[in-house]
A and B are shown apart, each in its own frame.
Chain A
Amino acid sequence: MSAHTASRRANFIEISWPIVRATVFAGAGYFAAAFGVAAIRHGSYMDQVSIVFGFALGLVGWLLGGGALEAWVLPWFGHENTWNEGHGITRFFRYNTDHKVIGVQYMWAAGFAFFAAGMIAMGMRAELFTPQLDFFTNRAWYNTAMSIHGSLMLFSVSVVAIVGGFGNYFVPLLVGADDMVFPQVNGISWWFVLPGIMALLLSPLLGGFETGWTGYAPLATTDEAGQLFYYLGVFSLGISSMLTGVNVIATAVYMRAPGLTWNRLPMFVWAMIVTSVLNVLWVPVIGVDMMMGVMDRVVPTAFFGAKGFPLLWQDLFWLFGHPEVYIIMLTSWGLWLEIIPVFTRKTLFGYRWAVIGFVVIALLSGTVWVHHMFTAVSAARLIPFMTDTEIISIPTGFIYLSVLGTLFQGRVRLTTPMLFALFSALNFLIGGGTGIFLADVPSDFQLQDTFFVVAHFHYTILGGMIFAWFAGIYYWFPKFSGRMYNEFWGKFHAWWMMVFFNLTFFTMFISGLNGMNRRIATYLPDLTRLNQFTSINAWAFGAGFFVALVNLLVSAYRGERAPANPWGGKTLEWATTSPPPHENFETIPIVRGDFYSYGDVEEPEMGVFPNPSLSPHQHTTGDD
């Protein structure tokens, strides 16, 4: 979309052939491995061993077909890189190393997964509209639906949408760089996401899986074979997180523009760094857990059986799983602190405290995991983990300190992004606050595994992160699409979502306290009224997303052209065109002040000098 790209429109074949080739290679790899292994073992191509090897080789085929063959493998062995990264719209459907393209690819993948998982949720609420089984054929399919809903949301939406989508797109821009440190690794990391999503969506072909997104053994060892796709899909998604994590940290450490010292670093970048450290450290742990799960089914070993350690699965899962929820939330908090100063034109309050909050939360996040298991573990573990879990609320409070201090006495412009950011803060207050009831062990003894918990995590993740995601989408939409969205429908969407979200999920606190446990397809009749109320509001809530979809899609093509800086923001992404050119900045910016000062606190200047020797990347003489 920059001036020098080809202006003719690409035809369908040019757009789609890499994805088609990737699919073909994936299928070929899958079946070659599955049949090969079956032949060697005298088994069937549909049995579990064949499936595992099939997935592995299929994944390799998918990566190669999308472009890694010409761009990675052949050059490793000394050949030239002949891969054409495309132009215009064709870039998004193939291996591409421009972080902006990759960011958009992640956003679309997350959006697709969100849509799929959301539709499943609509189906779940249809089932729960009545106490009996009437929407799903049987309870096992409800459990599978519920499991896919959770797995998609947790593994392929909540960590992919902001961290993968905005992180990739905006971290280089926010630090004044022209790309990430490892553009090739970045390019390939996205290709691990779709196999993960597809594995989860295709698990019904193998019978589905009933364990929920948490995959607890030993149920996971004995339920349907779709469980394998859960293990393998999550593993693939994990690789993506790991690679992105490495790239983000390296970029933020090494590629900051001149003058961008650590204490001027944008809040979103701080959040991305801390999130990436968590990704780098903890994703491997869940990878091992998944592999052990595969082994328990396929070999079979007995890591998690009655003769092994059934709780070991949970320990390893939550060792990753708790940092995971901070991986989800940290960038949302970063977005609040980016957006609120801009729309109050007031200096960010307590920058240092907020950064300390992020870092301490990350440090503590690895020490609290047992609070997901209070009803299962021995008494000795209860007090230490309750203590740590309560303590982590303190740094979390620092973020609200910053929000309130900035908001108070500001000049508040309630645009769509600001509405979403504030709604996110309000929702997360309920979500995080109800966490206190679960952190307290006696209280948790009653609430664990009830709909109270379901409400809690939907308030934090949906109410917190998804609302923040939309805040970011509307905030940065002008930048990455070059056009303005429709403000009326944006606000409509914000209010609609807020109202129906709260009506849907607040009632779940009540049904939880009234004895409704989680992960059930049918329930006792006394809970009918509550559930009907929840379901109706849930459907209304879901319908609201279509407003956003139409608004954003139509605006992307027909919206008013956006200026470089429609909001008056001061971070570096606003110092370049909308959308940015391929190399992000005409010349590398030089930073001479901080980004969050307004009024007479300190007037920052965004000096821009022609200084190409400062660019860390030397452009090759190949095709741009």
Chain B
Amino acid sequence: MRDVPILAVLWVVLSAIGEWVIQILVNHWPLIASAQGEETKFAFVFLFRVGAVVFIGITLIIVYSMIRWRVPEDDTLDSPHQYRSNWRFTAPWIIVTALLNLFFIVHPGITGLANIWGMAVAAAKNPNTIEVDVECQQWSWHFSYPKLGIFHTTTLVLPVNTPVKFVLHSDDVIHSFWVPSFGIKKDVIPGEERVLYVTPNKITSTKDNLLTRVQCAELCGSGHSTMRAVVQVESKSDFEQWAKKNGSSSLRSTGSAKGAG
């Protein structure tokens, strides 16, 4: 059967091309501007790279079969190859798919979560963590920085490379707090408190890149499409200036963070 070696070669070649295409895509990836976002992006890209090889393999066999063994539609002969099973195909298939899926659970699944949780735990202990209370209702966002004495602003201003603890509350229905370039989101449930830790790591703003905006990501009624807020991630000194101008206490406040979420 020369088909198997041919398919193997085609698989390798097409996978190589596929990985090359993926690399180009990765180089032009939409903006990711937070440490957590890098984790979520890593998970996606990893799965993409491995998944592409699997996808190419299966598609290849189907398309190859459609071409290689095609006969006219009025053909009435049975195929000369008949078998109900073939352990040389079945066993590797089952073993590899099982291992691959189990592997994905661990990496990038559990490892990714561990990293994100690790960042959250570190941020909870970090005295420099900025706390932002996010209050949302149909259909707007309000941000308060209790320790800086800034309340109910509609623009989210953050310092770069500083952990931020978002404390999320909803006044009415379920919303979801999402800044696309931060690469992570959290639903906001009325009657409950949710916490999201994010560490922005690039200076960016809605003006520079529309992906840096707050966007509600859970359908909340007719205003859902436009439930957005402007975001500005600035250098630490710019942020301190902004905080002094708008707030009533300094950036460096003592006092521990409210319990980890």
Contacts and interface: CB of A to CB of B under 8 A. Distances in A.
A518 interface: yes
B245 interface: no
A173 to B, nearest CB: 24
A404 B112 CA distance: 33
Interface in A6-35: none
B101 A449 contact: no
A411 B86 contact: no
A518 B219 contact: yes
Interface string A498-533: 000000000000000111011111111010000000
A407 B68 CA distance: 11
Interface in B27-60: 29-30, 36-37, 39-44, 47-48, 51, 54-55, 58-59
A445 B184 contact: yes
Contacts of B84: 347-351, 597, 601
A218 B172 contact: yes
Nearest to B42: A442
A426 interface: yes
Contact of B174 (A310, A394, A426, A522): A310
Contacts of A43: none
Interface in A589-605: 597-601
Interface stretch (B12-20, B187-195, B229-237): B187-195
Interface string B152-183: 00000000000000000000111010101101
A176 B117 CA distance: 58
B257 interface: no
Contacts of B225: 139, 520-523
B193 to A, nearest CB: 12
Given A216-B219, A345-B77, A513-B30, A446 B41 contact: yes
A3 interface: no
Nearest to B65: A407
A390 interface: yes
Contact of A387 (B40, B105, B184): B105
Given A442-B40, A517-B215, A404 B73 contact: no
Contacts of B36: 445
B176 A375 contact: yes
A27 B42 CA distance: 58
Contact of B108 (A143, A414, A440, A487): A440
Interface in A370-413: 373, 375-376, 379, 382-383, 386-387, 390-391, 393-394, 397-398, 400-401, 403-405, 407-413
Range class of the B interface residue count: 35 or more
Nearest to A397: B97
A96 interface: no
A569 interface: no
A386 B109 CA distance: 8
A348 B220 CA distance: 49
Given A210-B221, A517-B217, A442 B109 contact: yes
A212 B174 CA distance: 14
B62 A440 contact: no
Nearest to A419: B66
A176 B210 CA distance: 62
Given A218-B174, A310-B191, A414-B73, A449 B97 contact: no
Contacts of B82: 346-347, 597-601
Contacts of A520: 224-225
Given A394-B94, A407-B65, A410-B81, 5 more contacts: A210-B219, A345-B77, A412-B65, A426-B59, A442-B40
6 contacts: A383-B110, A390-B101, A407-B66, A415-B73, A436-B51, A515-B180
- Counting from the closest, the 10 A-B pairs by CB-CB distance are A306-B191, A442-B112, A515-B180, A520-B225, A376-B187, A140-B222, A599-B82, A306-B190, A409-B81, A442-B43
Interface of A: 138-140, 143, 210-212, 216, 218-219, 222-223, 305-308, 310-311, 344-351, 353, 373, 375-376, 379, 382-383, 386-387, 390-391, 393-394, 397-398, 400-401, 403-405, 407-415, 422, 425-426, 429-430, 433, 436-437, 439-443, 445-450, 487, 513-515, 517-524, 526, 568, 597-601
